[in-house]
Structure 1
Amino acid sequence: MAWRTGITDLLGVRYPIMQAGMGVVAGGRLAAAVSDAGGVGCIGASRMSPAELDEEIALVQAATSAPFGVDFLFPDLGERSAGPGEGTSHAVDPALRAELLEIVYRRRVPLIVYAMKLPAGAADEAHEHGIRVMTLVGTARHAARAQQLGADAVIATGTEAGGHTGAVALSVLVPAVVREVDIPVVAAGGIATGAGVAAALALGADGVWVGTRFLATHEAAVHDDVRKEAVARTEDQTVISRALSGKTCRLATNDFTAHWATREIKPFPEQAVEINRQGLVLKGLRDGDVVGSPIPLGQSTALVDRVDGAAAVLADLVGGAERALCGLTERVAP
Structure 2
Amino acid sequence: MKLIICISLALLALLVDAKDAAKETVSKHGQLSVKGANLVNKNGEIVQLKGMALYWSQWMPQYWNKDTIDGIHDSCHSNVVRASMAVDDGQGGGYLFDPDTQMQRVETVIEAAIADDLYIIVDWHEEKADTHQAQAVDFFSKISKKYGKHPNILYETFNEPTDQSWSSTLKPYHEAVIKAIRANDPNNIIIVGTAQWSQRVDEPADDPIKGTNIMYTLHFYAGTHKQWLRDLAQGAIDKGLPIFVTEYGTDNVDVVNQVDEEESKLWWAWLDKNNLSYTNWAICDANEASAALIANTPANKVCQADYLTLSGKLVVEQNKK
**TM-score normalised according to structure 2 size:** 0.53
The residue identity in structure 2 corresponding to 1:209 is T
Residue 204 of structure 1: CA displacement? 2.0
1:58 counterpart SS class: helix
The residue identity in structure 1 corresponding to 2:124 is F
Q: Which residue of 2 aligns with 1:112?
A: 155
1:215 counterpart = 2:277: no
Q: Which residue of 2 aligns with 1:100?
A: 139
The higher-RCO structure (CA 8 Å, 6+ apart) is 2
1:67 counterpart = 2:67: no
Which of residues 38, 41, 54 in structure 2 aligns to 1:9?
41
1:140 counterpart = 2:201: yes
Instruction: State the alpha-carbon separation in 1 of the partners of residues 107 and 227 from structure 2.
Output: 37
1:123 counterpart = 2:178: yes
Aligned partners of 2:244 and 2:277 also within 8 Å: yes
Aligned partners of 1:112 and 1:134 also within 8 Å: yes
Q: CA offsets, 1:231-280, max 9 Å, x none?
A: 4xxxxxxxxxxxxxxxxxxxxxxxxxxxxxxxxxxxxxxxxxxxxxxxxx
Instruction: State the alpha-carbon separation in 2 of the partners of residues 320 and 136 from structure 1.
Output: 25
Segments of structure 2 that go 5 or more residues without pairing to the other structure are 1-17, 30-37, 88-93, 162-169, 252-260
Residue 133 of structure 1: CA displacement? 0.6
Residue 135 of structure 1: CA displacement? 2.0
Q: Which residue of 1 aligns with 2:99?
A: 50
The residue identity in structure 1 corresponding to 2:214 is D
Quote the sequence identity (%). Answer: 9
Residue 146 of structure 1: CA displacement? 7.3
Q: Which residue of 1 aligns with 2:164?
A: none
Aligned partners of 1:195 and 1:321 also within 8 Å: no
Segments of structure 1 that go 5 or more residues without pairing to the other structure are 80-91, 217-226, 232-299, 324-334
Instruction: State the alpha-carbon separation in 2 of the partners of residues 161 and 97 from structure 1.
Output: 32
Q: CA offsets, 1:180-231, max 9 Å, x none?
A: 334244374344778466324245251123114x333xxxxxxxxxx2x214
Q: CA offsets, 1:32-64, max 9 Å, x none?
A: 653575332122222223312331233124434
1:23 counterpart SS class: coil
1:148 counterpart SS class: coil
Structure 1 residues 73 and 161: CA distance shift in structure 2, 3 A:
farther
Q: CA offsets, 1:159-180, max 9 Å, x none?
A: 6589xxx998543333223223
Residue 75 of structure 1: CA displacement? 6.3
Structure 1 residues 62 and 55: CA distance shift in structure 2, 3 A:
same
The residue identity in structure 2 corresponding to 1:317 is V
1:99 counterpart SS class: helix
Q: Which residue of 2 aligns with 1:317?
A: 315
Structure 1 residues 128 and 59: CA distance shift in structure 2, 3 A:
same
Instruction: State the alpha-carbon separation in 2 of the partners of residues 167 and 197 from structure 1.
Output: 8
1:20 counterpart SS class: strand
Residue 142 of structure 1: CA displacement? 3.0
Q: CA offsets, 1:80-120, max 9 Å, x none?
A: xxxxxxxxxxxx44443333223212321511112134522
Aligned partners of 1:8 and 1:16 also within 8 Å: no
Structure 1 residues 195 and 76: CA distance shift in structure 2, 3 A:
closer
1:230 counterpart SS class: coil
Residue 144 of structure 1: CA displacement? 2.0
Structure 1 residues 134 and 18: CA distance shift in structure 2, 3 A:
farther
Instruction: State the alpha-carbon separation in 1 of the partners of residues 293 and 192 from structure 2.
Output: 30
Question: 1:130-279 counterparts in 2 under 5 A?
Answer: 130=185, 131-137=188-194, 138-144=199-205, 147-150=208-211, 152-158=214-220, 160=222, 169-186=228-245, 188-191=247-250, 195=265, 198-202=268-272, 204-212=274-282, 214-216=283-285, 227=286, 229-231=287-289
18-27 or 58-67, which moves further after superposition? 18-27
Instruction: State the alpha-carbon separation in 2 of the partners of residues 7 and 318 from structure 1.
Output: 22
Structure 1 residues 54 and 322: CA distance shift in structure 2, 3 A:
closer
The residue identity in structure 2 corresponding to 1:43 is A
The residue identity in structure 2 corresponding to 1:142 is E
How many residues of Structure 1 are paired with residues of Structure 2 in the alignment? 225
2:193 counterpart SS class: strand
